[in-house]
Copies of this chain bind each other. A is one copy, B any other.
């Protein structure tokens, strides 16, 4: 990975922001230092940083809306490979215990647990996850 000024400033922008910024947010901020920078450059570098493990994305499923009709409070098991989501009943997880204070004035509505990992088919050798037809179109936006 070549060292470029743009790359440095983009990374610092994410580091300095305690805000979990979007690419657009980063772009806005970086333009303060490099007015000529392209939004495409921000996206390209963000992707590079994600690939090399310098940054990570907050949510596994930000690509497309995922819906459910199960209105009872419950948790999820998520495959980071094919983005499949399995339900986990609330009673299957012991209540989460908070050991510290939340941001001042924050009112908790609920608490959701995500167990993240790889499903059986995604662990299989090679292209095995293509064999499972029940896996819908694998929302991974790549």
Contact = CB atoms under 8 A, between A and B. Distances in A.
- A50, A59, A60, A61 interface centre (most CB from chain B within 10 Å): A59
Contacts of A62: 59, 61-66
A113 to B, nearest CB: 6
Contacts of A60: 59
- A50, A53, A106 interface centre (most CB from chain B within 10 Å): A106
A2 interface: no
Interface string A65-77: 1111101000011
* Chain copies in complex: 2
B77 A102 contact: yes
A116 B46 CA distance: 27
A93 B100 CA distance: 8
Interface in A97-142: 97-100, 102-121, 123, 134, 136-137, 139
Interface string A34-65: 00000000000010001001111111111111
A83 to B, nearest CB: 9
A19 B134 contact: yes
A114 B117 contact: no
